[in-house]
């Protein structure tokens, strides 16, 4: 019996290996080496340990598996195919169709295949997060583990352990070298996330060659210092030792676990100094035949999946996962009867919905010439929303006193190693890891936010980009949004950050102009289901506009709206602005009106939302026939030409700013009402004199 078991184990492992080899060869692109070396590891985890139902890959209490070494994507695609994982659509409906077919594998890395070069969340069911940039996967897995701990504290009741999943991440030397993994591992150890297991493929190979050229630290000692439990498997092919290592992880109750697995990538390497062929290139037909021969595999068969292999996965992860999932669903039915509100919350959260009354008690703000800082208003709104939406939680990269993101209502509490139900998360000074952890929290369906100074969005940019690629509604709050930071100087004054974030597909940027626009911004944010958002707020006070005189702040929902207009609705010049500069344009509008000039102020808090509107609406806000246009924004002018046209004028920043009080900076860089008025008059004169159209030369 034992020999039969070992035979089918080996056959399953070799099926994963040969599928990986064949797919990479057919694509003439990809990385076969790691997939071949790690096949025993993922087989032991998936078919013998993982709590996962292939028929329902979004079952809330499933274990999570993250392939942080995304270049080894064929490992995951092979598993999804062999386990028979089924597809789920965007409405969370199970389709009964395979997530990854053999034809998909045959079309690895080809257009529209479910097997792209690196795993992509939402594109292929069964993939928990998009990976590829090394270190991102393991850092994201920390967020998944944190989500489990919070959800368990919130939802579990005596006799109803609704949430108790584990998170596994497979990583390599590249992940270990990237700084984000160090940030994330440090926080995971501090928080004692014993439900988190990283499996480190210690193969001592990177694209350039042997790791001894660039990497010699003692990884085990480093992780022990982080507060992790560290164990080792000396041979990646030793299934017994792998099972023992996973059992050790399951028994650990105080620390996250790192399993160091020693493996070797040698297939196809022509010499000791050239391992790129095995790691980052196809093996070649002859090498594949020789390797298959070594596996006692039919040498000329391609994409072979023996029937007994599929059956073995069905009786392994298939039966185990179905039993666990069915048991959980039965328990949930009883849970609904005894804890109706919690059950509704769990269902609503898992479907990215909002509870009834989520927007109740939101404040409104009366006109006030002095006003409030955007960050102050946002903090007030956030505290109301978090009381209405129990799974809204987050924190900052050690800056909550400045970003005003601390939840202060009774019961909010801190998320710590000793208190898992706290709503305030302390990420420490780790912007990069914070972004990935936010992604992991969101992928687990809680609604997370993270905050920092806008200049430090650069540290979080890779994770913001991945969130947009995955279409997950993470909330990024950035304050100190301009040279308004003042004396802190150019190191802390964001210039290019806003236009560069606007360039990220699928990301919503919001820069509200006053207190009531901040409230409306949060209303938009909370209803987003598939878009991450960057909320950009001021440190300095913003005048609260009189909405009985000017248009309602609800226009923010369309991205841009007419705030103040000529009496006949036929302006001669347009003043376009975002954030703190809108009130400056309103002052200019009033001065121009006194001078007998018809102008229109357009508040444009979100270019992305504006671009989603109909062309008719866009033209009603920014009339094509009005070519005299001025934009005002305390940032780089890059991108404004699409709204002011080639003849328009943009008042913005062309340098990195300076260290001085805000009033002096505004004067130095031309941010004043008088300057806006002069620019508007100059535009009108230019248009009148030259008969300028949008296709004419610049004024």
d(CA 94, CA 115): 19
- Coil, strand or helix at 463: helix
Q: Which one of 120, 287, 431, 581 is the catalytic residue?
A: 431
d(CA 9, CA 4): 9
- Alpha helices, DSSP H, located in 295-373: 307-313, 319-338, 340-350
Instruction: Tell how far CA 433 is from the center of its chain.
Output: 11
Per the CB < 8 A criterion, the answer to whether 59 and 325 are in contact is: yes
Nearest CA among 482, 475, 492, 473 for reference residue 434:
475
Per the CB < 8 A criterion, the answer to whether 533 and 507 are in contact is: yes
Nearest CA among 582, 439, 575 for reference residue 507:
439
Neighbours of 211 (CB within 10 A): 18
Q: Is 378 exposed, middle or buried (0-12, 13-18, 19+ CB in 10 A)?
A: buried
Beta bridge partners of 509: 534
Give the tokens for residue 191: 């928080």
Please enumerate in sequence order all residues whose Cβ is within 8 A of that of 15, keeping only pairs 6 or more positions apart, or say none. Answer: 78, 82, 304, 305, 306, 309
Active site residue 431: yes
Per the CB < 8 A criterion, the answer to whether 201 and 171 are in contact is: yes
d(CA 489, CA 498): 18
d(CA 635, CA 238): 57
Q: How far is CA 462 from CA 3, 133, 137, 436, 441, in A?
A: 48, 8, 12, 9, 16
Q: What are phi and psi of 437, to 5 degrees?
A: -65, -40
What length does the chain have? 699
Nearest CA among 616, 638, 451 for reference residue 537:
451
d(CA 448, CA 438): 6
Please enumerate in sequence order all residues whose Cβ is within 8 A of that of 76, keeping only pairs 6 or more positions apart, or say none. Answer: 42, 65, 67, 119, 126, 127
Q: Is 11 exposed, middle or buried (0-12, 13-18, 19+ CB in 10 A)?
A: middle
DSSP 43-72: HHHHHHT----TT-TT-TTPPEEEESSGGG
Q: Which long-range contacts (CB under 8 A, 24 or more apart) does 378-385 make?
A: 378/404, 378/405, 378/477, 378/518, 378/522, 378/535, 378/537, 379/403, 379/404, 379/405, 379/406, 381/518, 381/519, 381/522, 382/407, 382/449, 382/522, 383/407, 383/408, 383/409, 385/358, 385/359, 385/522, 385/526
For residue 536, the surrounding DSSP H or E stretch is strand 533-536
Neighbours of 348 (CB within 10 A): 17
Per the CB < 8 A criterion, the answer to whether 679 and 649 are in contact is: yes
Nearest CA among 496, 508, 532 for reference residue 639:
496
Ranges of beta strands (E only) in 83-150 are: 86-88, 94-98
Q: Is 15 exposed, middle or buried (0-12, 13-18, 19+ CB in 10 A)?
A: buried
Please enumerate in sequence order all residues whose Cβ is within 8 A of that of 59, keeping only pairs 6 or more positions apart, or say none. Answer: 52, 53, 325, 328
d(CA 502, CA 638): 10
For residue 424, the surrounding DSSP H or E stretch is strand 424-426
Enzyme catalytic residues? 431
């Amino acid at each position: 019996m034992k020999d039969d078991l070992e035979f089918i184990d080996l056959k399953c492992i070799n099926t994963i290996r040969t599928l990986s080899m064949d797919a990479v060869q057919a694509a003439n692109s990809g990385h076969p080496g790691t997939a071949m070396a790690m096949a025993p590891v993922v087989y032991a985890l998936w078919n013998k340990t993982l709590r996962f139902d292939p028929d329902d890959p979004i079952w809330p209490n499933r274990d999570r598996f993250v392939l942080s070494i995304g270049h080894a994507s064929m490992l995951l695609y092979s598993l999804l195919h062999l386990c028979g994982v089924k597809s789920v659509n965007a409405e969370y409906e199970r389709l009964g169709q395979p997530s990854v077919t053999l034809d998909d594998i045959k079309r690895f890395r080809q257009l529209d295949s479910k097997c792209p070069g690196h795993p992509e969340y939402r594109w292929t069911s069964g993939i928990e997060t998009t990976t590829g940039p090394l270190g991102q996967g393991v850092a994201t897995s920390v967020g998944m583990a944190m989500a489990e701990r919070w959800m368990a504290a919130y939802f579990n009741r005596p006799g109803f352990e609704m949430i108790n999943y584990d998170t596994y991440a497979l990583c390599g030397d590249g992940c270990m070298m990237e700084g984000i993994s160090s940030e994330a591992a440090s926080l995971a150890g501090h928080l004692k996330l014993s439900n988190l297991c990283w499996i480190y493929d210690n193969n001592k190979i990177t694209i350039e060659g042997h790791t001894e050229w660039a990497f010699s630290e003692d990884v085990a000692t480093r992780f022990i210092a982080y507060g992790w439990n560290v164990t080792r498997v000396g041979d990646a092919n030793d299934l017994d030792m792998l099972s023992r290592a996973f059992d050790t992880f399951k028994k650990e109750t105080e620390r996250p676990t790192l399993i160091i697995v020693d493996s070797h990538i040698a297939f196809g390497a022509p010499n000791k100094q050239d391992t790129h062929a095995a790691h980052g290139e196809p093996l070649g037909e002859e090498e594949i035949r020789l390797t298959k021969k070594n596996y006692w595999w039919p040498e000329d068969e391609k994409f072979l999946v023996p029937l007994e292999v599929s059956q073995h996965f069905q009786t392994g992860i298939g039966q185990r996962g179905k039993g666990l999932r069915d048991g959980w669903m039965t328990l949930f039915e009883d849970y609904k009867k005894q804890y109706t509100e919690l059950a509704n919350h769990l269902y609503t959260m898992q479907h990215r919905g909002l509870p009834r009354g989520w927007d109740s008690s939101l404040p409104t703000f009366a006109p006030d010439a002095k006003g409030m800082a955007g960050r102050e208003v946002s903090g007030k709104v956030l505290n109301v929303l978090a009381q209405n939406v129990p799974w809204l939680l987050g924190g900052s990269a050690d800056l909550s006193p400045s970003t005003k993101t601390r939840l202060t209502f009774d019961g909010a509490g801190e998320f710590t190693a000793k208190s898992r139900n706290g709503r305030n998360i302390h990420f420490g000074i780790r912007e990069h890891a914070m972004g990935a952890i936010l992604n992991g929290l969101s992928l687990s369906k809680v609604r997370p936010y993270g905050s920092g100074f806008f200049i430090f969005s650069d540290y979080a940019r890779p994770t913001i980009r991945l969130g947009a690629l995955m279409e997950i509604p993470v909330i990024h709050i950035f304050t100190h949004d301009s040279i308004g930071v003042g004396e802190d100087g150019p190191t802390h004054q964001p210039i290019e950050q806003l236009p560069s974030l606007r360039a990220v597909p699928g990301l919503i940027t919001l820069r509200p102009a006053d207190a009531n626009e901040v409230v409306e911004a949060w209303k938009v944010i909370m209803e987003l289901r598939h878009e991450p958002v960057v909320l950009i707020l001021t440190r300095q006070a913003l005048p609260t506009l009189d909405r009985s005189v000017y248009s309602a702040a609800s226009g923010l929902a369309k991205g841009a709206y007419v705030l103040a207009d000529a009496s006949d609705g036929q302006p001669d010049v347009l003043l376009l602005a975002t954030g703190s500069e809108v009130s400056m344009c309103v002052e200019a509008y009033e001065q121009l009106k006194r001078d007998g000039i018809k102008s229109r102020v357009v508040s444009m808090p979100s270019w992305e939302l504006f671009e989603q509107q109909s062309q008719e609406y866009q033209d009603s806000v920014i009339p094509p026939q009005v070519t005299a246009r001025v934009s005002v924004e305390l940032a780089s002018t890059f991108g404004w030409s699409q709204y002011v046209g080639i003849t328009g004028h943009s008042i913005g920043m062309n340098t990195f700013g300076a260290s001085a009080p805000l009033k002096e900076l505004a004067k130095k860089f031309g941010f004043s009402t008088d300057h806006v008025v002069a620019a508007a008059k100059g535009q009108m004169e230019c248009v009148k004199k030259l008969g300028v159209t949008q296709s004419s030369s610049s004024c």
